[in-house]
Structure 1
C-alpha cells in the first residue's frame, strides 16, 4: 500500500511523511526531491528555464511512475500536484494507494511559511503576514476541492508530529 500526503505547502507533508515511513517501516519519497533528481535541476530552475506548463507535464509523468512502480511507500506531494491535469484522478484510481489530506489553518500556515518564504519561490515576494494570509486564503480556496477528494483528512493544527502520525495510522489501518 502506498500513501500520498496531500496539502498546502507548510502543512507538514515531508515531516509527517518521513516520520510515518519510519514508524511503518515504509519507503519515503518527497515528490519535489524525486522530480529534482530525475530532471537534475531544482524546482525553481525548472520553473525558470522551462516554465510552469513544462513542470506540470513532467510532474504528471513522474506521478504515474510512482503510482505504478512503488509499494509500501509514503509520498509527500507538492502542494499543487493534486490540482493539475488528472493527477488527483490518477491517485484515486490506484487500487494500491490511499491519499491523506494534511489540513492546516490559514493562521498556522502563515506562521510556518512567513519564516521560510526565502526557500519557497512561490511566496518569496510576499512582504507582510497580512499579504501571506491573503495569498494562502486565495490558494486554499482554489485547491480545497482537490484536497477534499482525499481518502482521509487529518487536522494538524496544534498537534505534534507523533500525534498526527498516530492519527493517520488509526484512520487508515
Structure 2
C-alpha cells in the first residue's frame, strides 16, 4: 500500500512524509525531487522558467503515474499535481493506497512559505501576485475541490509537530 500525501505548498508534505517513512521503514519519494532528477537537478523554478508550466505539469503527471505503479512507498505529491485531471483520476483509482490531504489556513501556509528560504528561491510564483496571501487564497480555492475529492482523510497540520502529525497519519492507515 502506498501512502500518498498532498496539499498546498508549505503544508509539510515532505517533512511529514519523510517522518512517516522513517517510522514505517518505507521508502519516501517526493514528486518534486523525482522531477528535478529528470532535469539534472534544476530547481522547480528553473524548470518552470525554461520549459513552461504546461511542460512541467505533464512531467509531474508522468512521474506520478510511474510512482503509482510501485507499492509500499510514502509519496509526497507536488502542490499542483492534482490539477492535472488524469493525475487526479489515477490517484482516486488507486485501490491499494491511503490518500491524505494535509491542510492549513492560508495564513499559516503564507507564514511557512515565507519563512522557508528554499521555497522562496527554488519554487515559482504561481500567479502575478508573487506568492502573497491573496495568491495562496486564490490558488488554494482552485485546488480545494481536487484535494478533497482525492482524500481518504483530511489532516489539519496547523498546530502539531512533524512527529505528532506523522503518528496521526499512521494511526489513520487502518481507517
State if a TM-score over 0.5 links the two structures. yes
Do the aligned partners of 2:100 and 2:155 also contact (CA within 8 Å) in 1? Answer: yes
Looking at structure 2, the residues matched to 10 and 166 of structure 1 have their Cα atoms a distance apart, in angstroms, of 19
Looking at structure 2, the residues matched to 172 and 85 of structure 1 have their Cα atoms a distance apart, in angstroms, of 26
Residue 83 (structure 2) pairs with residue 80 (structure 1)? no
Looking at structure 1, the residues matched to 94 and 2 of structure 2 have their Cα atoms a distance apart, in angstroms, of 9
Residue matched to 2:107: 107
Do the aligned partners of 2:43 and 2:123 also contact (CA within 8 Å) in 1? Answer: no
Alignment length (residue pairs):
169
Stretches of structure 2 lacking an aligned partner (at least 5 in a row): none
The alignment's TM-score, normalised by the length of structure 1, stands at 0.90
Residue matched to 1:168: 169
RMSD of aligned residue pairs (Cα, Å): 1.8
Do the aligned partners of 1:103 and 1:155 also contact (CA within 8 Å) in 2? Answer: yes
Residue matched to 1:2: 2
Task: Describe the SS at the equivalent of 1:95.
Answer: coil
Task: Describe the SS at the equivalent of 2:88.
Answer: helix
Task: Describe the SS at the equivalent of 1:21.
Answer: helix
Residue matched to 1:141: 141
Looking at structure 2, the residues matched to 105 and 125 of structure 1 have their Cα atoms a distance apart, in angstroms, of 21
Stretches of structure 1 lacking an aligned partner (at least 5 in a row): none
Could you tell me how far 1:167 is from its partner in structure 2?
1.1
Could you tell me how far 1:5 is from its partner in structure 2?
0.6
The alignment's TM-score, normalised by the length of structure 2, stands at 0.89
Could you tell me how far 1:23 is from its partner in structure 2?
0.5
* Per-residue Cα deviation, 1:28-61 (whole angstroms, up to 9, x for no partner): 0111001111232332222112111111112111
